[in-house]
């Protein structure tokens, strides 16, 4: 569906794991980049047994060096109940840390609630 909803002229690049590589490649053109979504990327990393800390550090580095504006979409998963299983709790905690780290670097942070925009930063 994400391919069908895009406007003419938009390009879709699938990067289930190598988000850093695709941002590095695309950011050289200075055209805006939409990353949708960070929590899916994190889920792929977590389920694949990848080094989460190294991946996030790499993402921070490529975002710091990007010439292009980058808009990143992420899910807020920490507002509900504490998950009952260890994997779900780890995912919630890792997503929270990822969101905090990128929000600290971001020029602007928006929270969407029921289709309404709340400016956080």
Distance, CA of 63 to CA of 98 (rounded, Å): 13
> What Cα–Cα distance (Å) separates residue 67 from each residue in 12, 18, 35, 54, 120?
19, 19, 15, 22, 24
CATH 3.40.50.300 fits 2-119, yes or no: yes
Q: What is the pLDDT of residues 77-87, one digit of tens each?
A: 999 899 999 99
| pLDDT tens digits for range 46-99 | 999 999 999 999 999 999 999 899 999 999 999 989 999 999 999 999 999 999
Choice among 1, 2, 11, 79 that is catalytic: 2
Domain positions in the chain: 2-119
Mean pLDDT across 96-115: 96
Is this model's pTM higher than 0.85 or not?
yes
Residue 13 bears catalytic tag: no
């Amino acid at each position: 569906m994400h391919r069908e909803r895009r406007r003419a002229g938009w390009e879709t690049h699938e990067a289930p794991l190598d988000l850093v590589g695709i941002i590095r490649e695309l950011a050289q053109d200075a055209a805006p980049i939409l990353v949708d979504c960070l929590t899916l990327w994190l889920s792929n990393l977590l389920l694949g047994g990848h080094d989460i800390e190294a991946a996030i550090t790499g993402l921070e580095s490529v975002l710091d060096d990007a010439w292009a504006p980058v808009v990143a979409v992420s899910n807020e998963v920490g507002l509900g109940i504490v998950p009952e299983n260890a994997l779900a709790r780890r995912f919630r905690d890792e997503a929270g840390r990822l969101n905090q780290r990128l929000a600290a670097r971001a020029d602007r942070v928006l929270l969407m609630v029921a289709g309404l925009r709340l400016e956080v930063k």
